[in-house]
Amino acid sequence: MKEFVISEVKAETAVLVGLITKEQDDSKTKEYLDELEFLADTAGAVTVKRFTQRVGGPNMTSYVGKGKLAEIKEYIKQKEDEDEPIGMVIFDDELSAKQLRNIENELQVKILDRTSLILDIFAMRAQTANAKTQVELAQYRYMLPRLQRLWTHLERQGGGSGSGGGKGSVGLRGPGETQLEMDRRIILQRMTLLKQRLVEIDKQKITQRKNRGRLIRVALAGYTNVGKSTIMNMLAKSEVFAENKLFATLDTTVRKVVLQNLPFLLADTVGFIRKLPTDLVDSFKSTLDEVREADLLLHVVDISHPDFEEQIQVVTETLKDLDCAEKPSMIIFNKIDNYSWEEKEEDDLTPMNKKNISLTELKRTWMAKLNDDCLFISAKQKENIDEFRDVLYKKVRELHVQKYPYNDFLYNTDVEEGMQ
């Protein structure tokens, strides 16, 4: 009778699994799992439990050791008995085809890794033909080496060796193609088609960029969920989709912005994230073309995030891969309204850590050397926005005068008249 009772649709529950290694200590693993939980939440899953294991490195056959895998299996069984079944187990690193197959056989639930979860969010967020094509290509690239586990129920179509003791059904012996080979061929054909489609889209994008006229191009770059779209909406008075979720932006948006007498183009781009596989970055090369073509980069950082310095490093490395490291850039420290710190007691003799540094003290560190190339704002609460607009105007005007020496301002001010 139980199956006929109509119940509310519950969100899928997830268990997270991470490793503590020499390179990745307890606090680092906790941060990675926090980010993984945020990714799962963005995809629509609720995290109910985390498992970590202290090892030298991932196990080649099952990622975690046998004992830990048995512990996870026991927990899943226990939850099933309590009528709260676990929907999936998410691993913090990319799993090989062998690891996926072994873990799936053991746990008998849906297994995801960090990459497949990111791809799932990408597929959910993609709006334009360009983004959808890029996501599909990235999914096929991910799927290709892992095809084996998808068709374990169809080992062979019936092809095989000929007479005698050869395998294969009667009437189907001879040169055959396994289901796996057939799928691989179909996927490779599809990937070729998608690559051709992306080349065509790229040509269209280049034409669009050529038609943009004599305007300086400014691109917002940075880690995911740092507030790039909120800054875009504030400057361009547009309505770009922005929310407190990872990868809210997947399609590049370009808007014309006018500061005082100076028009320029502002592009909002897809955010970067840690442990992003290279072929995934390759798939999104054309989305990141706006960053490559920009005259000025605004590197947005969420200063309220406990690990913002590592996020800066991730973005800097990705920009190097895109050959954009030498471009003129500014660092915008956003979300100063969310910044929190713990004041140390006078008699507390323990060494200071990151949590004990106030925002004022933080501004006196390496950031002080950046002068005008570094600003602290809150796009949501509109703090320091006037200073941000003034500095941005000054930067864009300098680039505009260099690139287009003949006056292209909307109207003249005393500054421009003095420059002529």
pLDDT in tens, 380-407: 888 888 888 898 999 998 888 888 777 6
Higher-confidence position of 81 and 417: 81
Rg (CA), the chain: 26
Same domain, 266 and 400: yes
Q: How confident is the model at residue 89 (pLDDT cuts 50, 70, 90)?
A: very high
Count: domains in the chain: 3
Strands 262-268 and 253-259: antiparallel
Hunting for tokens 């006037």 — which residue is that? 386
- 204 with 219, same domain: the answer is no
- Looking at the structure, tell me whether residues 76 and 200 fall in a common domain: no
CATH of the domain at 108: 3.40.50.11060
Rounded to whole angstroms, the Cα distance separating 43 from 96 reads 22
Same domain, 219 and 101: no
Higher pLDDT, 250 or 155: 250
Is residue 160 situated within a structural domain?
Answer: no
pLDDT confidence of 5, banded at 50, 70, 90? very low
In a domain, 2, yes or no: no
- Strand-pairing partners, residue 89, are 15, 111
Residue 199 has pLDDT above 80, yes or no: yes
Q: Is residue 172 part of a domain?
A: no
Task: Tell me if 115 sits within 8 A of 139, measured CB to CB.
Answer: no
317 belongs to a structural domain: yes
Whether 167 maps to a domain, the answer reads no
Angle between helices 114-125 and 26-43 (to 10 degrees): 30
Same-domain check for residues 253 and 387: yes
Q: What integer pLDDT is reported at residue 1 of this predicted model?
A: 37
In a domain? residue 259: yes
Q: Is 268 a member of any domain?
A: yes
pLDDT at 75: 92
Read off the pLDDT of residues 290-344 as tens digits, 9 standing for 90 and up. 788 888 999 998 888 888 888 888 888 888 877 787 888 888 888 888 877 667 6
Residue 204 and residue 320 in one domain? no
The model's pTM is 0.76
CATH code for the domain in which residue 327 is found: 3.40.50.300
Confidence of residue 3 (pLDDT cuts 50, 70, 90): very low
Quick one: 331 and 221 in the same domain?
yes
Amino acid at 332: I
Please give the full DSSP string across 196-262, using - where no structure is assigned.
HHHHHHHHHHHHHHHTT-S--EEEEEEBTTSSHHHHHHHHH-------SSTT---S-EEEEEEETTE
Query: Looking at the predicted structure, is the pLDDT value of residue 419 above 70?
Result: no
Is residue 237's pLDDT more than 80? no
Q: Are residues 18 and 115 in the same domain?
A: yes
Query: What phi and psi, each to the nearest 5 degrees, are found at residue 222?
Result: 155, 180
What's the Cα-to-Cα distance from 81 to each of 19, 45, 74, 75, 104, rounded to whole Å? 28, 21, 11, 10, 20
Indicate the residue among 196, 211, 226 that finishes a domain: 211
CA distance 167 to 156: 10
286 pLDDT band (50/70/90 cuts)? low
Q: How confident is the model at residue 267 (pLDDT cuts 50, 70, 90)?
A: confident
- What is the model's pLDDT at position 368? 62
Q: Does pLDDT of 377 surpass 70?
A: yes
Asked if 194 and 150 sit in the same domain, the reply is yes
pLDDT at 268: 83
Q: Which of 87, 142, 99 is nearest to 118 (CA)?
A: 142
The residues, any chain, with a CB within 8 Å of residue 412's CB and separated by 6 or more, are 261
From start to end of 83-190, where are the E strands? 88-91, 110-113
Lowest-confidence pick of 167-176, 199-208, 405-414 = 167-176
Position 351 scores a pLDDT of 66
Based on the fold, state whether residues 391 and 325 are members of the same structural domain: yes
Residue 4 has pLDDT above 50, yes or no: no
Counting other chains too, the contacts that 380-389 makes at CB distance below 8 Å and 24 or more residues apart are 380/227, 380/230, 380/335, 380/337, 381/337, 382/234, 383/336, 383/337, 384/336, 385/234, 388/332, 389/235, 389/259
For residues 146 and 293, give the distance between their C-alpha atoms in angstroms, rounded to a whole number: 35
On whether both 231 and 321 belong to a single domain, the answer is yes
Q: Is residue 349 part of a domain?
A: no
Q: What is the arithmetic mean of pLDDT over 276-298?
A: 74
Whether residue 234 is found in the same domain as residue 185: no
Residue 308, pLDDT score: 84
**Looking at the predicted structure, is the pLDDT value of residue 71 above 90?**
yes
Q: Which of 39-53, 223-237, 269-283, 341-355 has the lowest mean pLDDT?
A: 341-355
Residues spanned by the domain of 101: 11-120
**% the chain with pLDDT above 70:** 73
Q: Residue 2 carries which side chain, given as an amino acid letter?
A: K
**Average pLDDT in the chain:** 78
